[in-house]
Amino acid sequence: MNVFQKYFVESITKRYAQFSGRARRAEYWWYTLFNGIIGAIFSVWFQTDPNNKVALVLSGVYMLALLLPGLAITVRRLHDIGKSGWLYLLILIPIIGWIIIFVWSVTPGDVGDNEYGEDPKAEERR
């Protein structure tokens, strides 16, 4: 199974709006990378021809379709470091909130189980 399938496709198909559980840093960052690349492709496609209604509609549908999985994986990432998913609302505070969420997203997850679920890296440590 390749990285794209493991971290992006599975996040969309198997864990579309799953806010419970934990997400490793790798899962979060690979998802973010692939989502950004696909979003950039849509943006470039639309920028080359601003009157292209197909590009506009498809990029809008793509953004709406991946809104929930993006929120869900971020909440699961916060759960991995022992934080409540509600703390993601800090993103609404310009600059300071963004920095806090970024720092938390690169923070290593809790070793062992926490109140949000089993350690997703437990199998690798065995």
In-domain check, residue 87: yes
In-domain check, residue 115: no
> Distance of alpha carbon 15 from its chain centroid, rounded?
11
Range of 67's domain? Answer: 3-110
Our count of domains for the chain comes to 1
pLDDT tens column, 82-123: 999 999 999 999 999 999 999 999 999 999 999 999 988 876
pLDDT tens column, 34-89: 999 999 998 888 888 878 888 888 888 999 999 999 999 999 999 999 999 999 99
pTM of the model: 0.88
In-domain check, residue 118: no
First and final C-alpha spacing in the chain: 21
pLDDT tier, 125 (very low <50, low <70, confident <90, very high otherwise): low
In-domain check, residue 125: no
Neighbours of 77 (CB within 10 A): 27
Q: Where are the alpha helices (DSSP H) in 16-52?
A: 25-48
Distance CA 77, CA 73 (A): 6
